[in-house]
Amino acid sequence: MTRGQIAATALLAGGVAFGALGGEYSTGDWWTLRQNLRDEQAAIARLRQEIDSLAVAAQALETDPAVQERAAREYFGMLRPGEFLYRIEPARVEGDTGRQ
């Protein structure tokens, strides 16, 4: 091999190494960005699924009397005439003043 061929081979190897590992947008950066893209697409899919289930729940709250009654009972403690509400308190531990 002549000196020129060695220099050309070294220059080519250096260029390939710089292209793969160096510079502003290296191959490692590209792989990281691809992984970030997959992660974000998975997050979007999860959020779309959550939005769909919340939309179904909202529709049921607007239109289904049974769901409306359950929500009124659970969240607002509403009772029908003649019903009684019993609240069960957790047992107090000795020395507990109940203050936080």
Q: Which residue type, as a one-letter code, is found at position 73? A: R
Quote the CA–CA distance of 14 and 23 in Å, as a whole number: 12
> Tokens standing for 54?
């919340």
Chain segment 47-83, per-residue pLDDT in tens: 999 999 999 999 999 999 999 999 988 888 888 889 8
The domain locations on the chain are 28-80
Four-CA torsion 32, 38, 43, 47, nearest 10 degrees: 150
Quote the CA–CA distance of 30 and 17 in Å, as a whole number: 15
Chain segment 20-55, per-residue pLDDT in tens: 666 677 777 888 899 999 999 999 999 999 999 999
Torsion sign over Cα 38, 44, 47, 49: negative
Quote the CA–CA distance of 31 and 60 in Å, as a whole number: 44
Quote the CA–CA distance of 75 and 61 in Å, as a whole number: 13
